[in-house]
Structure 1
Amino acid sequence: MQTSLTAEFLATPEGREADAILRACVHCGFCTATCPTYQLLGDELDGPRGRIYQLKLMLEGVPPTRTTQLHLDRCLTCRACETTCPSGVRYARLADLGRAELEQRVPRPAGERLTRWLLRTLVPYPGRLRPFIALGRLARPLLPTALRRKVPAKRPAGPWLAAARDRRMLVLEGCVQAVATPATNAAAARVLARLGVTLIRADSAGCCGAVSTHLAAPAEGLDFMRRNIDAWWPHIEAGAEAIVVSASGCGTMVKEYGEALRNDPAYAAKAGRVAGLARDIAEVVAQEDLGRLKARAEGRKVAFHSPCSLQHGQRIRGVVESILRGAGFQLTPVPDAHLCCGSAGTYSLLQPELSGELLANKVAALQSGGPEVIATANIGCQLHIESGAAVPVRHWIELLDEVCS
């Protein structure tokens, strides 16, 4: 499409990037067919094409309004539109650039500002988050049913094993996952130890930066990225083979560090190296000799929910399913598997009604095949689906760990 962005914005790296993305869009509308919010609301402005048009107007100098903000807030950034787009439009990146710009132009009410500040101040910090989750667990019996189901149950991590061989990979412990489901990375360590790889933790690493980035605080997000790079770099120089990420949402972010920091002369090269080393746990496991795991699931029925960040963000499709089938699990059919569950980072907290509708649809689809357990690959999806499912919800690496001898 043709654009005429304001000269002031076009003079910035962000402006030139946004202009290139906008020009790639031909407004064909294929994206609307797979957009979860468009399917629910039927409003062109709540689909990718409509949101792109609204962002284009804003960046060309048309004053945005609270209505503009509302439609962009309703976007899940699930990236299903990117999978569908024949022109390769990088919608998610445009949305993040637009959110940051929109935040400066349209003031939010005090309540919204406070909520978003609290999320950015609490969620990315395990030390701050841990007491709140512990308190929620203590009060769980007294909470209303709907709220009680949102409090994650305590999950013992179990031992963190090391391999006999001298192969080492870094692991991102993250923020919410480190507190709510520490069993996930511990299970990943045990599986990889059986495959001859030791997972090592960098103590000063933390949140991948996605929470701040997607809540229109890009500078804050970049600071999280720099901190992780600094924490990982000595291990990378010492020969760590990869950076393993078991939360697919975080993996999507880490794989984009090089792009995010390409204009930072002090970090550009390191960020590119880190992005190149980032691997989803499924990518790592799939490359090893799985016969060494001696896995025997004996036909246990599993419904696999492929997170948007895995299938649309990282474009990893069918890999987890292949691993689970190879281990002996029976995968049940999941209708509309390309659609979002409604978690989407902080979306379930900021857009509870839309998120709730998407959750109900997703749980119905996942449970339609009568599984014993639901497996997924992202902490946000796991906790969100767990709040509405009638069967247990686990990270797939934990299921694999359980059936290995």
Structure 2
Amino acid sequence: MSDIADVSLAYEGVKRIEWADRTMPVLRQIRERFAAERPLAGFRIAACMHVTTETANLIRTLQAGGASVALAASNPLSTQDDTAAALVQEYGAEVFARSGTDREGYYRHIHQALETRPDFVLDDGCDLVNTLHIDRTDLLDTVKGGCEETTTGVIRLHQMAREGALRFPMVAVNDTDTKHMFDNRYGTGQSTLDGIIRATNALLAGKTIVIAGFGYCGRGLAERARGLGALVVVTEIDPVKALDAALQGFTVQPMAEAAPRGDVFITVTGNRDVITPEHFAVMKDGAILANSGHFDIEIDVRGLAELAVGVNEGVRPMADEYVLADGRRLVLLAEGRLVNLAAAEGHPAAVMDMSFADQALTCAWLAAAYATLEPAVHDVPKEIDTEVARLKLASMAIGIDALTADQEDYLHSWRLGS
């Protein structure tokens, strides 16, 4: 039995899901293929993902392939209650998600999704897989495999595999080029700034924006912030990424040096305690703090609360103002959670089209291949990544060249010299 906020919101949810579907042509083609081929017939899938319109179109695609799907939210602030209602009322999925639920409710919903005794799991951050391995070990023999779609989750899965704890094969969908290169760089880059602007109505031109982390997400953010006229400072722990940022013309500094300079701070590292009280202590009055990493641990929110002498909650939607003893005010967005999903709508559907196409095709591949896979973290087959890119290009009416027979021979021969 689903647990959602208001089933009467289903009509609005359907309209939004159909709107997103207009710019998801690759997933739509896969849905049509799945309806004919039924590669997931008879399988049960439990997913822990953001309950958004784009995710709804993935769920519809898995159902078209024959799967029954139970969905729990991977973030309580990203749940769209109308989308949840539509999935239950109009599309026949089981959904356990309510916008703004607390930690207890969040994990209760994960447990409810697992009660369906899934054959496969789809995770976004590894909380569902973690729950299986710690609290629901009775279900481990039922699960045949799964997919993980975010960097944070893949990091956790690799650690489980290194320790010999992972009990079934997981596929790192996050690591495909059509996912992390485009979803992280273009999706996170645009949607994070969208969330900050919606939450604050700030003009970013002329502001100093400090971006913690220069992976694909940080790179996309830096590019788009510079395009809006911001002065961009990057903080990093990786010398190669720091050098990359510097050679692209961005200022690179330790966070301790950047903290007094920044007007806006954005964390995208996947690690904890990136911005801490030592940094809050030297920040400007009115500095804005936003996180676009998966979990709400990158900004030390507890440390900020302990440092503050007062909190003005809801100065704007998704913005709380922490007042320090000397009168300075620091503005925390979305409680330190994913600002692009809490204060905006997450990635554009056109970007999620590729990510969820990867997810759907990988599920179909996994349904056929799971018996041959060891309990480990596996890569998505390269041909899936290539097929998604090919379909996306075709949907954009973009053509590319093909190798001639002589070019193919040259690439596969070591005997030909200069």
TM-score of the two chains, using structure 1 as the length reference: 0.31
Bigger Rg over Cα: 2
More strand by share: 2
Higher RCO by CA contacts (8 Å cutoff, separation 6 or greater)? 2
TM-score of the two chains, using structure 2 as the length reference: 0.30
